[in-house]
A and B are shown apart, each in its own frame.
Chain A
C-alpha cells in the first residue's frame, strides 16, 4: 500500500494557524499532527469552527494571509516542507499534485464559464494543451465521473446542472491531473441524502482506482464509516482522538467522540429525545484553560481544568488527548 520509502505522502506536524482580527487573535488551529499515505483515507471530523477546514486550507496554501498566519508548524509533502517553498513552487503543486473538492459546487464553479471550459482549464494551465484537446479531455473526465450525455453537456453552464452533477464536476476537476492527494472539504454537505451516498461511492471508487491519498473533512459520522481508513477528531483546533475507523465506532477513547457518536439519530431510538452534547463550542478568542472540552465534558476533573492533555498513545494504533482515556475506553 505505501511507497517504497517510509515518508508519508502528506504529513502535518504541530501546525498552528491564527487569525488576527479586531477583537484579538483567533487561534483556529493549535498544534495539529496528522499524516496520510497513498491509497489511504483520513477522515477529519469535527463541529463547525473546530479548525478542520482551516487546516485543509493551510495545507492547500489558500489561506488568506493576512489576516491568517501560520506561526508554527510544518506541512510535509513527500518529506518536503511546503511552508518554506516559494509561492510559484506551491502553485505548481496545487491542482497537479494536491487538489481540493469544495463543499458547495454551485458557488465553487465560475457562473460565467462553461463547465467544459473550467475542466479544460486544468489541462491548458498545467499541461499547455490546445483548446480542442483540453475539451476532449473534459468530456472524458465527465464520462469518468458518470455525467450522462457528457459530450452534449460539456458546453453547458454550471447552473444548468443539478447539485449532484455539479459535485461530480468538482470531483472531475480535482481528478483532472491525477493528483497524489485529494482534500475533500465536506463534499456531500450541500447535497441531499440520496445523492450524498452516490457521490461518496464515486469518490471512494476513483480513489481506489488511482491509489490517491484522500483527506475527507466532514461532520457527518455516517459518511465517514464507509470510506475512511482512519479518523482524526478535532475540537477547538486540536486533534482530540485519532484511531482506525472501526475502533472509534466501537469504543471511543475521548468523551467528545463519545458525545458525537451518541448524537447520531438512530432508528431504534424513535420517539426518544435526541442526545446532544451540552454547551457550545468554545470561542476561539478565549479557549478554556486546560482541556478545551472541559466545560462540556461529563468526566471533567480538576486536572482537566488546569492541564492541557497531550495526544498520547492509547493502545492499538490509536491516540487520545484525554486525561481519562482509560476510563472512557472502559465505559
Chain B
C-alpha cells in the first residue's frame, strides 16, 4: 500500500516545475508528499491496530456515528438504565398483565369494599371490592398504549407536516405555522372536555385521537426547525448537485440529520401524554369502564382517601413512576444526542 506513494514524486515534478505561480510552490509540493505518506501511515496505525486484517478493523471503528456515540453514552448513563428497565417492565405488564397479576381485575366482592392490604392482596381492595393490585396491573395497558400510540401518531403527523413545511417553505410553511398557532391556542383540558364528551365511545382510540390532534403541532414546530437547519448543510447542496431527487434528499440526507430533536421531544411528550390521559379519565371524559385506567381509579378513590388511602396511593404511585420513567428516558436521550454536552 506504500507503492503509490513512492511513485508520486515522479508524477508531481513536471507540474511543479511548470509552475509560474511563485517560487515557493515546488518546495511545498515535495513536503506535501512526505506529509501525505506520514498521514496515511498514521491513519492506518491509529484506526487499525492490525493493518491488513479487516476482521479486527470493525471493532475499532464501530460506534463512531452520531447514533453509535449516543448508544455508548446511554449504556453508561444510570438514569437511562433505570428508566429503560422500568419501561421494559411496564411494556411487559401491559402486554401480558395476567403473568404479573394475581387474578382478574373484574373479580370483585363488595364484602371486601375498601379493605386494606392482606396476605394475597398486597394493595388491598377498592370501593367495589376489587383487588387494587390487579386493577393497577391491568391499568398499565391503557396508560402505556395511549402514551405509545398517541406519541407515534403525533410524531408521525408532526414530522411529516412540519418536515414538508421546513423543506419546501413558501406558502405551505406559512399556512402550517398559522395552523399550529391555532392549535397552541386551544386549552387542552377544555378542548378535551368538549371533544371527548361529543365523541361517545369507551375505547382508547378517541382519547388517542384527541391527544394526537393537540400534540402534533408541538412536534411539527420542532421538525420544521430542525429540517430547516439540516437542509442548509452543504452536503444537502452537494447531494443536489450530484443529481439526487427531492425525495432522496429529504429521506436520506435531511431526515436522518433532523430526527434527533424530534425523538427527544417525542419521548418526553410520551410521559406527559400518559399524564394527560389520566387527567382526562379522572375528569370522566377519558377512558370509561370497562376499560381499566389509573386515572379512573384515582377518580373513584379520591373521595375515599381519608379512610382508605391505599385505593388512591397505588394507582397514583404507578402513574407517577411511569410518567417519570418516560421523562427520564427523554432526558437521557436528549443528553446523549446533544453533541454540545459531550
Contacts and interface: CB of A to CB of B under 8 A. Distances in A.
- Answer whether A and B are interacting partners: yes
Contacts of B33: 198
Contacts of A113: 252, 256
A284 B289 CA distance: 70
B22 A104 contact: no
B21 A226 contact: yes
A96 B243 CA distance: 7
Contacts of B245: 91, 125
Given A94-B242, A160-B47, A195-B32, A204 B4 contact: no
Interface string A245-263: 0100100000000000000
A173 interface: yes
A164 to B, nearest CB: 7
Interface string A206-224: 0000000000000001111
Contacts of B35: 194-195
Nearest to B239: A110
A161 B43 CA distance: 8
A157 B67 CA distance: 12
Given A96-B243, A104-B234, A221 B21 contact: yes
B57 A152 contact: yes
B44 A148 contact: yes
B257 A112 contact: yes
Contact of B244 (A125, A155, A225): A125
Contact of A102 (B11, B66, B238, B248): B238
B20 A91 contact: no
A252 B61 CA distance: 52
Interface in A94-123: 94-96, 99-100, 102, 104, 107-113, 121-122
Interface string A141-161: 000001011011101110111
The interface residues of chain B, by DSSP majority, are classed as helix
B20 A246 contact: yes
A195 B5 CA distance: 14
Given A125-B244, A201-B12, A204-B15, A152 B66 contact: no
B235 A110 contact: yes
B238 A193 contact: no
B201 interface: no
A326 interface: no
Given A152-B57, A194-B28, A194-B32, A107 B233 contact: yes
A201 B15 contact: yes
Interface residues of A, number: 64
Contacts of A93: 243
B29 A107 contact: no
Nearest to A63: B237
The interface residues of chain A, by DSSP majority, are classed as helix
B11 A201 contact: yes
B21 A222 contact: yes
Nearest to B62: A155
A94 B243 contact: yes
Given A201-B15, A226-B15, A194 B241 contact: no
B234 A107 contact: yes
A77 to B, nearest CB: 14
B15 A121 contact: no
Contacts of A22: none
Contacts of B256: 110, 112-113
A42 interface: no
A221 B20 CA distance: 10
Contacts of A204: 15
A266 interface: yes
A92 interface: yes
A227 B272 CA distance: 62
A108 B61 contact: no
A331 interface: no
A157 B243 contact: no
Contact of A152 (B8, B15, B54): B54
B224 to A, nearest CB: 17
Contact of B54 (A151, A174, A225, A265): A151
Contact of B1 (A60, A148, A170, A193): A148
Given A94-B241, A195-B32, A201-B12, A121 B57 contact: no
B64 interface: yes
A159 B18 CA distance: 35
Contacts of A285: none
Interface of A: 60, 62, 91-96, 99-100, 102, 104, 107-113, 121-122, 125-126, 146, 148-149, 151-153, 155-157, 159-162, 164-165, 170, 173-174, 193-198, 201, 204-205, 221-227, 246, 249, 264-268
9 contacts: A94-B241, A100-B238, A107-B233, A111-B65, A112-B257, A113-B252, A204-B15, A222-B25, A225-B21
Interface of B: 1, 4-5, 8, 11-12, 15-16, 18-25, 28-29, 31-33, 35-36, 39-40, 43-44, 47-48, 51, 54, 57-58, 61, 64-67, 233-235, 237-245, 248, 252-253, 256-257
Identify the 4 closest CB pairs spanning chains A and B, nearest first. A95-B243, A225-B21, A194-B32, A222-B21
Given A125-B244, A159-B64, 18 more contacts: A95-B243, A95-B244, A108-B237, A110-B233, A110-B256, A111-B257, A121-B242, A146-B4, A149-B1, A153-B47, A193-B32, A194-B31, A194-B35, A197-B25, A197-B29, A204-B15, A205-B11, A267-B22
